[in-house]
Amino acid sequence: MTVLDGAIDYWCNAFTRDRLAAWHQAISNQGLGLKIERAGDEFCEPATMVERMDAAGFGTVILVASDHRDAVEVDSFEHVAARDHEIRALAENYPGRFKGLWSVDPTRGQADVDHAAAMAAEPWCVGLHNHTHSWDRPFDHPDFAPYYQLSAAEGLPFVMQAGASGGDFPHECGRPEGIRRPATEHPNVNFVLSHTGAPWTADTIAVAREFDNVFIGTASWPLAHWPAELLSYAESDGASRVLYGSGFPTTGHAQAARQFARSDLDPDLIRRITTDNARSVFTRLDSPTSTPNPA
């Protein structure tokens, strides 16, 4: 039996089968030893994903959305992200089950800020997102300032990949200390440093301890491989500061259900990590819905 009930995945990439080729191409181009398509967590159509979510105990999946630009390299994040019209359709067809983050492009200036504002007004949008390593800009770079201001004005959290990239991208831009100035200047914005901040997880934890509005997300890191310092933090003063994310397809929902069920974590802590903390950060999420817990 799954221990999850109404769990929230704060970072899921597009899951339909038309994105599979882009993943294989990127993995091949960059020489990554990355496993995707585990049994029960394959790319699939929406109805199948909802069935899988029900079986695993997930109430809501938050997809990351981006514009598609033909000029970008095949390895770029845009090729594996969802599109705004896809999330709109999912949110309408499966109320409460799918929401989205809008991914910003700081290279496009005010036009992109205006575009992000339009996306932020969409009912499916619950936050803004930065695929950090695509831009080689630290979190306190001036180009991100108008997006943080937009987050503050709209009451939206801001999610970014922290730590080093697993691919052939710049790494230093993901250092967690870059969030200090934005967190100070925008105390009402919830910032989520994703991907555990590895290999700088200890520094990520230090920043989360310093600022009440900084949280740590685990996307792309299965529970079985969480850094020891992150587990220790979650089991102590970080119980309300860690959020579960799949980073699908690098980890999956069936996989998460199995690993949480087999873990020694306290059930109350599991509920916080997988459900309660996300609801405190993503305040636009719909009210919790009942999710079956099949044996």
Q: What's the predicted TM-score (pTM) here?
A: 0.93
pLDDT of residue 7: 98
Is 219 domain-assigned?
Answer: yes
Q: Between residues 101 and 35, which one has the greater pLDDT?
A: 101
Q: Residue 28, CB half-sphere, CA atoms under 13 Å: how many? A: 7
pLDDT of residue 39: 85
Is 30 domain-assigned?
Answer: yes
Average pLDDT over residues 257-267: 97
Is residue 209 a contact partner of residue 196, using CB atoms and an 8 Å limit? no
pLDDT of residue 57: 98
The CATH number linked to 154 is 3.20.20.140
pLDDT of residue 21: 81
283: its two tokens: 């305040």
Q: How many domains does the chain divide into?
A: 1
pLDDT of residue 291: 42
How far CA 246 is from CA of 49, 122, 138, 217, in Å, comes to 13, 24, 24, 10
In angstroms, the CA 230 to CA 100 distance is 26
Least confident of 201-205, 271-275, 283-287: 283-287
Is 293 domain-assigned?
Answer: no
In angstroms, the CA 174 to CA 49 distance is 31
pLDDT of residue 19: 85
pLDDT of residue 130: 96
Please check the confidence at residue 295 and state whether its pLDDT lies above 60. no
What are residue 27's phi and psi, to 5 degrees? -60, -40
pLDDT of residue 293: 39
pLDDT of residue 78: 76
Domain interval for residue 52: 7-281
Please check the confidence at residue 171 and state whether its pLDDT lies above 70. yes
Please check the confidence at residue 31 and state whether its pLDDT lies above 80. no
In angstroms, the CA 118 to CA 237 distance is 37
Is 234 domain-assigned?
Answer: yes
Cis amide linkage into residue 170, ω under 30° from 0:
no
DSSP label at residue 272? I
Which amino acid appears at position 55 of this protein? A
Is 42 domain-assigned?
Answer: yes
Listed residue (69, 281, 284) closest to 193, CA to CA: 281
Which amino acid appears at position 34 of this protein? L
Please write the tens of the pLDDT for every residue from 36-54.
Answer: 778 899 999 999 999 999 9
Scanning the structure block, which residue is given the tokens 């922290």? 162
In angstroms, the CA 26 to CA 277 distance is 32
pLDDT of residue 73: 52
In angstroms, the CA 70 to CA 83 distance is 14
pLDDT of residue 38: 83
68: its two tokens: 């598609």
Is 116 domain-assigned?
Answer: yes
Is 292 domain-assigned?
Answer: no
Listed residue (121, 280, 284, 293) closest to 190, CA to CA: 280
Is 294 domain-assigned?
Answer: no
Scanning the structure block, which residue is given the tokens 């309300």? 240
Please write the tens of the pLDDT for every residue from 191-248.
Answer: 999 999 999 999 999 999 999 999 999 999 999 999 999 999 999 999 999 999 999 9
Residues counted in the chain: 295
